[in-house]
Amino acid sequence: MLPSMSPPVALVFGIFLMVVGISFAYKSYVAGIQGRVMYWEGFLPFTLLSPFLLHLPGGKKSLIKPAEGLWVHAVMAPVFMVLSILCFAAGADYAGLPGVSTLNVAMNGFKWGRADSIIFNRRTGYQFPIIPRSAKTLAKIFGAKVGEKEDDKYTHDNGTYDSARDANTQ
């Protein structure tokens, strides 16, 4: 990913990544609590990437506009928080602090000696060994059918809802 850096350059880059992580945490707060995300209203490919690239407010006559809605709460706030955590952890590693190892301990319930969930290398970037390990569990969760007993179903043949409920409880 990145060639080897001298220690002062790695420190500056790490601090920069931690500042970007703090910015993403603020963007997550604004998206989660206020339900608003800023985007650049212009050429479509840049519009799609702009919520991740805009970290400073726009002027009065700029093309930076707010987008609001429930999708901002549901999608953008968690995405920004995950990016915040990853940027802050990688920045700490570049700065010489135990960023990703601390994140792994936190993800393991503050129990030491467990398998790493996230691996960060300065040359190769991030690796997520937690995904293949949890594939079977995730497949069970997302592949399970939600069933309903035939006896509990409401039909119009039973009359009102109250009479159908009374018929099923007897």
18-72 pLDDT tens trace:
999 999 999 999 999 999 999 888 878 888 888 888 888 777 888 888 889 899 8
The domain ranges of the chain are: 7-97
pLDDT band with cut points at 50, 70 and 90 for residue 1: very low
74-125 pLDDT tens trace:
999 999 999 999 999 989 988 989 988 898 898 888 888 888 888 888 778 8
Q: Would you say the pTM of this structure is higher than 0.75?
A: no
With a CB cutoff of 8 Å and minimum separation 6, the contacts of 120 are 89, 90, 93, 99, 100, 126, 127
